[in-house]
Amino acid sequence: MKNFVSIADVADVQLLIEMGLNYKNNPLADHTLGNGKRLGLVFLNPSMRTRISTQLAAQNLGMEVIVFNVGQDGWSLEFGDGVMDGTSVEHVKDAAPVLGQYFDVLGLRTFPSLKNRDEDYSELVIQQFVNYAGIPVVSLESATLHPLQSLADLITITETFNEKRKPKVVLTWAPHIKPLPQCVANSFAQWMTVWGRAEFVVTHPEGYTLDEKFTNGAAITTNQDEALAGADFVYVKNWSSYTEYGKILNTDRSWMLTAEKLKLTNKARVMHCLPVRRNLELSAEVLDSPASIVTQQAANRVWAAQAVLAKILQCKFNPVRGARGVYE
């Protein structure tokens, strides 16, 4: 695997899930695989779980990790082609090749603007790093996707569901007071449909249809009760509108997942990527009940990241570090 910015980079999803589960049983199984290799974690936006779990994963593989937090005012990057006489102090074409010289693998966290859909959905930022860093790039969440989260989610479903049939997995929109990215929902939908080992349903109010390239033919309904019926897993998540980009169209709090609604399901386990707004997205009663597996999900972020880093380290790539006057 050369990069990990979406599921398109993954040759075998099931193998990656199993690698994650193996590392969970034996965290130090490959504790020398990353010796002498350096992981740079560059955060253009804040992060808690991703930041810590990826560091732990790298340490388990014997890699050295350096974290670089891009301050809000410290290092605003330029992506355009004009004269740099504004507030951006460095062009990605100049910054990325340098990071490519310092590290063997680069993790990058960035968020969408939620203003300009075309720009966000072109994944301008992470793609430029892929283009110019010359080393493998791992998404720590980008403008439209969060593949490390999705891999952890599939690991969680796999280890929790022990029946022979396919589980029914429902992704349900939840209320929120802030316009959030579509990343987690897009990514989960994409991984579920490509993986294909579950009956997958998406439910959301009118106006919250996700980009079809990610839902990928999944069953979609605006009737939440219908969707929840017989579910084995309910993934709760808010997202802002894709069609009326970045807007909050619905404030109907009846979409919150409650213990009452959970009765419609097949004793479903409840998932959320965290952070979660209690009593807004999900009732405290559900979160504090045995139905909730949100902590388990977050813990599995370590094994997802470890599987991805291991797959990249195993790959015999010949980095072409940058395009201009760069040497090995």
Q: For residue 98, give the nearest of 125, 61, 132, 64 by alpha carbon.
A: 132
Q: Is 20 in the site for its own copies (CB under 8 A)?
A: no
Interacting positions 242-261 with its own copies (CB under 8 A): none
For the bound state, the minimum distance from the C-beta of residue 281 to its own copies, rounded and expressed in Å, comes to 8
Q: Is 78 in the site for its own copies (CB under 8 A)?
A: yes
For the bound state, the minimum distance from the C-beta of residue 75 to its own copies, rounded and expressed in Å, comes to 6
Among 22, 29, 33, 38, binds its own copies (CB under 8 A): 38
Among 2, 13, 18, 90, binds its own copies (CB under 8 A): 90
Among 3, 50, 53, 144, binds its own copies (CB under 8 A): 53
Q: How many amino acids of this chain bind its own copies (CB under 8 A)? A: 64
Q: Is 25 in the site for its own copies (CB under 8 A)?
A: no
Among 143, 198, 302, 310, binds its own copies (CB under 8 A): 302
Of 13 and 29, which has the nearer Cβ to its own copies? 29
Q: Is 197 in the site for its own copies (CB under 8 A)?
A: no
Among 29, 33, 56, 248, binds its own copies (CB under 8 A): 56
Write down how long the chain is: 328
Q: Is 288 in the site for its own copies (CB under 8 A)?
A: yes
Instruction: Return all residues near 55 (Cβ < 8 A) that are at least 6 apart.
Output: 41, 65, 67
3-state secondary structure the chain: CCCECCHHHCCCHHHHHHHHHHHHHCCCCCCCCCCCCEEEEEECCCCCHHHHHHHHHHHHCCCEEEEEECCCCCCCEECCCCCCCCCCCEEHHHHHHHHHHHCCEEEEECCCCCCCHHHHHCCHHHHHHHHHHCCCEEECCCCCCCHHHHHHHHHHHHHHCCCCCCCEEEEEECCCCCCCCCHHHHHHHHHHHHHCCCEEEEECCCCCCCCHHHHCCCEEECCHHHHHCCCCEEEEECCCCCCCCCCCCCCCHHHCECHHHHCCCCCCEEECCCCCCECCCECHHHHCCCCECHHHHHHCHHHHHHHHHHHHHHCCCCCCCCCCCCCC
Q: Is 287 in the site for its own copies (CB under 8 A)?
A: yes
Q: Is 316 in the site for its own copies (CB under 8 A)?
A: no
Interacting positions 137-196 with its own copies (CB under 8 A): 177
**Spatial separation of the C-alpha atoms in residues 328 and 326, rounded to whole Å:** 7
For the bound state, the minimum distance from the C-beta of residue 267 to its own copies, rounded and expressed in Å, comes to 13
Q: Is 79 in the site for its own copies (CB under 8 A)?
A: no
Site string for its own copies, 99-138 (x = CB under 8 A): x-xx------------------------------------
Residue ranges binding its own copies (CB under 8 A)? 38, 40, 46, 48-49, 51-53, 55-56, 59, 64, 66, 68, 71, 74-75, 78, 81-85, 89-91, 93-95, 97-99, 101-102, 177, 269, 274-280, 284, 287-296, 298-299, 302, 321-327
